[in-house]
């Protein structure tokens, strides 16, 4: 459980479960299965161990899918409300989504301009990440697609 792993009240507890989501596992499986068996056999004949094959053969060919998983996990962790509400306890680890929610549910009323400004600011990191990684994202989406 999250408590046994020491992930309660930590930001790692917010984003780490997203990496093993079903869509991410299927995407990575498709990317790893896309590597031809002949290339792996050739690497084994050349004397490459399992870690060498993983590092020099599988990771470069699955790099696009890895970037898709990273982007999807970041966006879902950044925009999620319910999971951080369950996992996080202290205000110092609170995500921006939880902070905006608390700002809206203040018993003294809230300044709508502050909430809207916070909402606009919360979009900026997602846009910057996507602009930086978009070439790997599109490459990963097409390479990790299910082939019928």
pLDDT for the residue numbered 148: 44
CATH number at residue 39: 1.10.3720.10
For the chain (length 148 residues), average pLDDT per consecutive 10? 86 88 92 91 93 93 87 88 91 87 76 87 90 77 53
**Domain span at residue 115?**
12-143
**CB burial class (10 A; 0-12, 13-18, 19+) of residue 86?**
exposed
What's the chain's length in residues? 148
Residue 45 lies in a domain: yes
Total of domains in the chain: 1
Q: What is the dihedral of CA 22, 23, 28, 33, to 10 degrees?
A: 90
pLDDT for the residue numbered 107: 66
**CB burial class (10 A; 0-12, 13-18, 19+) of residue 68?**
buried
Cα–Cα distance between 63 and 58 in angstroms, integer? 8
């Amino acid at each position: 459980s999250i408590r046994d792993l020491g992930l309660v009240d930590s930001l790692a507890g917010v984003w780490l479960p997203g990496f093993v989501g079903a869509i991410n596992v299927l995407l990575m499986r498709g990317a790893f299965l896309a590597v031809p068996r002949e290339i792996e056999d050739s690497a084994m004949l050349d004397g490459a161990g399992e870690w060498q094959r993983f590092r020099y053969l599988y990771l470069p060919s699955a790099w696009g899918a890895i970037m898709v998983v990273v982007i999807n996990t970041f966006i879902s962790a950044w925009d999620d409300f319910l999971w951080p509400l369950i996992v996080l306890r202290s205000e110092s680890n609170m995500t921006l989504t939880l902070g905006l929610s608390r700002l809206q549910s203040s018993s003294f009323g809230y300044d709508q301009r502050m909430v809207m400004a916070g909402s606009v600011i919360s979009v900026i990191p997602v846009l910057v990440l996507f602009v930086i990684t978009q070439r790997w994202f599109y490459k990963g989406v097409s390479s990790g697609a299910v082939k019928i």
